[in-house]
Structure 1
């Protein structure tokens, strides 16, 4: 019963969002649209049982940047918009999805027909124009969603937009954490899973924390394959830092080294009353 009630609240919030977009977006400034988008997205995450944690937000670029992120789920878009509303590049099929496709179209999503190689060239030119105009564009260079545990190779094609526009690339890492502090695959939207099945799995996995790691930007100048490799390395590094196993291993290594150094330097000493062993 609780599960059904939460789905009803989410559907109601989607309906409210459609009303806001349909009735208010044409009458407010771009900044106000961005604020409405962010507030709506934050509330959506809250209703879905998810809180947002942003890391290294001081590195964020707010204009003329190509944001590239790993891709786990349809909810990635709302997580990113809750952090900072952004124009997205999406596969053309999304335009046909109920509600979400309409939202995507109204929020100026750039749709890519992946089966047409010629369409990629068109998109690159269009994205370069947006970047030169100062827009922030987000792409998912893996080309598909994963369960979030491993990265697929970053395709370099759309990085050409940043090269052509001489604009920086900002890697972004998304990581979903369950209530026990472990990586969660509940938000993943992969294989033949339907949108409804994905939502059910997500809600059953809550409460969740969505981590957004803002990686340091990559300066313009490198060619697209180099940028793709550098961006992938940055996202992989952020994932490694967030994973509990990697974090614990590094902490144990640091603690072990510290203890060895302390034993060698202070053999036979008695800890001070306010030292690390005092309780």
Structure 2
């Protein structure tokens, strides 16, 4: 398959997502929206040459929680949504991205203007409202992407939302495995790499396996800095566990298969126990 054809398939899938949200979503129940969103995200990963493996899914919180994790790539959003659709906190610039920005807005993304100090307070209050009402919100406390080999410092400000709402925090960790069975930094969207260049690198460098490690829930705390530190420790422990796992299972072991996919890569009916995506 040529690079141009692979890109065309992704663009068509994004446009199909816009059509679903604009035409079908108004007539869907919330549960059906989740399932459709999840199935769409699984296919998005597949078109990008990604398999998904979820570790410790039994720890998943489905209501009234703040989800926090490390941030490696623009693919992270689709990985998390393929696992369990969750609205995100994102930089305001994403709202202006063609197609992707519109989809993010329609799916409940909370956009934050980082350069405006007051906007952090607005964002925090919006997160509180959502999780206090039983919803979920995901944020990346590093504030930017990294190569995924180690963690950057966590910013504690938005953890105030979990303190104010007295809701649990669900730590998750993402890591990408290359075709050689080792951790890959190719999907990392960092430095001066453009979105187009990053997409080219992913499509040329695959196939990949996206690993998502679900950490144990952190109970409500009264200090946002202590909560941020505990969450970072939990995400860091997940990263170490994933990295150590690859050292044990380096190629030629077969690539892991997501429980929602057959060995041929075909999608199986979504499990009713896991919420869905666009």
How high is the TM-score relative to the length of structure 1?
0.86
> In structure 2, what is the equivalent of residue 183 of structure 1?
183
Give the drift of 1:244.
4.7
Q: Are 2:195 and 1:195 equivalent residues in the alignment?
A: yes
Q: Which runs of no fewer than 5 residues in structure 2 stay unpaired?
A: 249-278
Task: Give the Cα–Cα distance (whole angstroms) in 2 for the partners of residues 17 and 142 of structure 1.
Answer: 29
Shift of 1:4: 1.7
Aligned residues: 248
CA distance, structure 2, for counterparts of residue 221 and residue 5 of structure 1: 50
Q: What CA deviation, in whole Å up to 9, does each residue of 1:11-39 have, x standing for no partner?
A: 11111111111101111111111111000
Aligned pair 1:64/2:61, yes or no? no
Aligned CA RMSD, in angstroms, stands at 1.2
More helix by share: 1
SS in 2 for 1:87: coil
Q: Does 1:100 align with 2:100?
A: yes
The one-character-per-residue Cα deviations of 1:140-188 (angstroms, maximum 9, x if unpaired) are 0000011111111111111110100010001010000011111111111
1:9–1:108 CA distance, 2 compared to 1 (3 A): same
Contact 1:240–1:247 under 8 Å retained in 2: no
Q: Normalising by the residue count of structure 2, what TM-score does the alignment of the two structures yield?
A: 0.87
Note closer, same or farther for the CA distance 1:10–1:246 as it changes in structure 2 (3 Å cut): closer
Is residue 20 from structure 1 mapped to residue 20 from structure 2 by the alignment? yes
Q: Say if 2:236 is the partner of 1:240.
A: no
Q: Report the equivalent of 2:76.
A: 76
Residue 113 (structure 2) aligns with:
113
**1-side partners of 2:35 and 2:15: how far apart?**
18
Of structures 1 and 2, the one scoring higher in RCO (CA 8 A, sep 6+) is 2
Q: Is the 8 A contact 1:56 1:214 kept in 2?
A: yes
Q: Is the 8 A contact 1:49 1:207 kept in 2?
A: yes
The SS at the match of 2:225 is: helix
Partner of 1:272: none
Runs of 4+ in 1 over 2 A off after TM superposition: 244-248
Alpha-carbon distance, 1:245 to partner: 8.5
Deviations 1:45-66 (A, max 9, x none): 0111100000000000000000
Cα deviation 1:37-86 (Å, max 9, x = unaligned): 00000001011110000000000000000000100111100010000000
Q: Is the 8 A contact 2:162 2:168 kept in 1?
A: yes
Distance 1:245 1:133, change over 3 A: closer
1:3 aligns with 3
Contact (CA 8 Å) 1:241, 1:247: kept in 2 or not? Answer: no
Q: 1:246 to 1:81 in 2, by over 3 A?
A: closer
1:128 counterpart = 2:128: yes
Deviation at 1:193, TM superposition (A): 1.4
Which residues in structure 2 correspond to 1:85-96 (within 5 Å)? 85-96=85-96
| Deviation (angstroms), 1:221 | 2.4
Shift of 1:135: 0.5
1:147 aligns with 2:128: no
Structure 1 residue 222, shift from structure 2 partner: 3.8
Counterpart contact for 2:183–2:246, Cα < 8 Å: no
Partner Cα distance (1:109, 1:202) in 2: 24
Instruction: Show the counterpart of 2:35.
Output: 35
Query: Do the aligned residues in 2 keep the contact of 1:86 with 1:136 (CA within 8 Å)?
Result: yes
Q: Which has the larger radius of gyration?
A: 1
Contact 1:90 / 1:112 at 8 angstroms: preserved in 2?
A: yes
